Amino acid sequence: MTTPVRFALIGKSGSGKSRAAAILSDILGVRHIKTGAICRQIARLLFDNENKQSTQRLDDALTGIDPSIFLRAALRSTSPEEGFVLDALRFRSDLQLARDCGCLLIRLVAPEAMRVARLQARGQAFDPIVDGAHRSEVELDDVKVDFAIVNDGEFDLVQRELSEIASRF
């Protein structure tokens, strides 16, 4: 049996992780797992929005039950032989779970003004001073990754870098 190809993306909100994960999963022919989808769905149901303040409140409340509650929920439907791309890790417990699953790590970095503009375009309010200091934004800042990509808006460059990474596997 061959080892499944698995990646997990790390980066601040609006850095392009979800788009990069979709591209990488298409290139590799594996599933794109949206780790924040459940949190955003609950935020819409409870608060009628997906603002960072709302999702961070949920993070704070529900990770007290299980530090990796959203990632575990997202991984429930995977099989041991399945490759996948996780679109976002937020916490050290998520990082450990991803490593235990055999994920390689890719960090996406983007300028703050660009990230805020992307989030606003999606209808997500984000205050860099308040929301940007939340543990979900900073807890993995010092983590060593396997690959790093700067996403400064040059989509072709990001796609080329992802293709180059995928070609190694």
Q: Which helix (H) or strand (E) holds 55?
A: helix 52-62
pLDDT over 70 percentage in the chain: 99
Residue 4 near residue 102, CB atoms below 8 Å: yes
pLDDT, position 6: 97
2 pLDDT band (50/70/90 cuts)? confident
Q: Helix or strand or coil: residue 108?
A: strand
Q: Helix or strand or coil: residue 36?
A: coil
pLDDT, position 163: 96
pLDDT, position 53: 86
pTM of the entire structure? 0.90
Residue 1 pLDDT > 70: no
Among 76-90, 114-128, 132-146, the range scoring the smallest mean pLDDT is 114-128
Domains, the chain, ordered by start: 6-166 (3.40.50.300)
Across 127-164, b (16+ Cβ under 10 Å) vs e yields: ebeebbebebbebbeeeebebebbbeeeeeebeebbee
Could you give the CA distance from residue 107 to residue 86 in angstroms, rounded to a whole number? 12
Compute how many other C-beta atoms are within 10 angstroms of the C-beta atom of residue 76: 7
